[in-house]
Amino acid sequence: MQLSIVEIAKPADANVIVGQAHFIKTVEDVYEALVQSVPGIKFGLAFCEASGPCLIRHTGTEATLEQTAVEAAQAIGAGHVFVVILGNAFPVNVLNQIKSVTEVCTVFCATANPLRMIVAEDGDGRGVVGVIDGSSPKGVESAEHQAERRAMLRRFGYKQ
């Protein structure tokens, strides 16, 4: 078995969600979950089929984001993995809806940070072992940091 690190390329202002599902119907069902969650959402979705023709199935509402999702899925190359690249929405807006899709087994990550996937390959296939999401902690927040965090959440409208 070989381990490798796969960097996920995405637009700087985009968010990415990577997960694993178990059936080709995932493409249509995740698409529906996304468009029903945020009116006018812009996203691309790609899904690595794990049997039969083993194609990367894809759809979306914005061609560039869809192509970015396909390229990320190709780079990961693991069966039943899906990649969603979000343009004008945040994971917090869609994550519960994605997790409630019947075919979705797990969500590995949801982030705007630089993202690296740890991928294992055994000759017959590839699988996601884990993720490296952003950077390591550089310290512990102070009272001032806590106040900044609370103010930011209120500016974004997540808290009152």
Q: What are phi and psi of 45, to 5 degrees?
A: -135, 135
pLDDT value at position 1? 94
**CB-based burial label for 123 (10 Å; 0-12, 13-18, 19+):** exposed
pLDDT category of residue 16 using cuts at 50, 70 and 90:
very high
Tens digits of residue pLDDT in 48-106: 999 999 999 999 999 999 999 999 999 999 999 999 999 999 999 999 999 999 999 99
DSSP state of 138: -
**Helix, strand, or coil (residue 160):** coil
pLDDT value at position 158? 84
Tens digits of residue pLDDT in 97-141: 999 999 999 999 999 999 999 999 998 899 999 999 999 999 999
pLDDT value at position 82? 98
Query: Contact, 126 vs 76, CB < 8 A?
Result: yes
pLDDT value at position 56? 98
Q: What is the pTM of this model?
A: 0.93
pLDDT value at position 59? 98
CATH of 2-155 given 3.90.1150.150, 3.40.1520.10, 3.30.70.20, 3.40.630.30: 3.40.1520.10
